[in-house]
């Protein structure tokens, strides 16, 4: 039986339950969580950290440095610049992922055909080819 979801974020959370994926990890104790909100709760309860909220969108963060980094999305600040092409990013992780274009690093490989990709998200889209999944339909 298939389970259907109205949004991609709900589907992502469900898949993490099925696969056991836990991408959110506590820096203090190492405990990992499948949902960001669970990590925030853990930090509040176990580490005594109080959440900081973004005054523009309401998203909460356990550390003020995370909130400061998040605010760059709203104010357009992009302090991380690629030395090769000049493209700028709000997050250091964005620059790290972008650098793979210049270094030709493709760490994400398809188990079916061996094709490699710069980003995991591109690999996940590619995998649909092998299973025949076509989730987006034209209404016309």
Per-residue pLDDT of the chain (140 residues; tens, 9 = 90+): 456 655 667 777 777 777 888 888 888 888 988 888 888 888 877 877 667 788 999 888 766 777 888 899 899 999 999 999 999 998 888 899 899 999 999 988 899 999 998 888 888 888 888 888 777 666 66
Q: What is the pLDDT of residue 2?
A: 58
Q: What is the pLDDT of residue 3?
A: 61
Residue with token string 């980003």: 119
Query: Quick check: 26 and 42 in contact, CB under 8 A?
Result: yes
Q: What is the pLDDT of residue 140?
A: 62
Record the pTM.
0.53
Give dist(CA 112, CA 127) in Å, integer: 8
Which pair of structure tokens corresponds to residue 129?
């080819």
Neighbours of 43 (CB within 10 A): 21
Q: What is the pLDDT of residue 121?
A: 83
Give dist(CA 58, CA 124) in Å, integer: 30
Which pair of structure tokens corresponds to residue 136?
């987006």
CA distance between the termini of the chain: 29
Neighbours of 42 (CB within 10 A): 19
Give dist(CA 56, CA 25) in Å, integer: 26
Neighbours of 50 (CB within 10 A): 11
Beta pairing class for 32-33 and 24-25: antiparallel
Q: What is the pLDDT of residue 1?
A: 46
């Amino acid at each position: 039986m298939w389970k259907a979801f109205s949004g991609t974020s709900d589907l992502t959370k469900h898949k993490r339950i099925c696969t056991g994926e836990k991408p959110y990890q506590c820096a203090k104790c190492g405990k990992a969580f499948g949902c960001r909100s669970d990590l925030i709760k853990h930090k509040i309860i176990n580490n005594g950290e109080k959440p900081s909220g973004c005054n523009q969108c309401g998203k909460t963060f356990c550390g003020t440095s995370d909130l400061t980094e998040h605010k760059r999305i709203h104010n357009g600040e992009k302090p991380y610049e690629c030395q090769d092409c000049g493209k700028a990013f709000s997050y250091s992780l964005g620059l790290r992922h972008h650098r793979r274009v210049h270094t030709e690093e493709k760490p994400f490989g398809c188990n079916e055909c061996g094709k490699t990709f710069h980003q995991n998200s591109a690999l996940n889209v590619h995998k649909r080819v092998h299973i025949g999944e076509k989730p987006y339909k034209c209404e016309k």
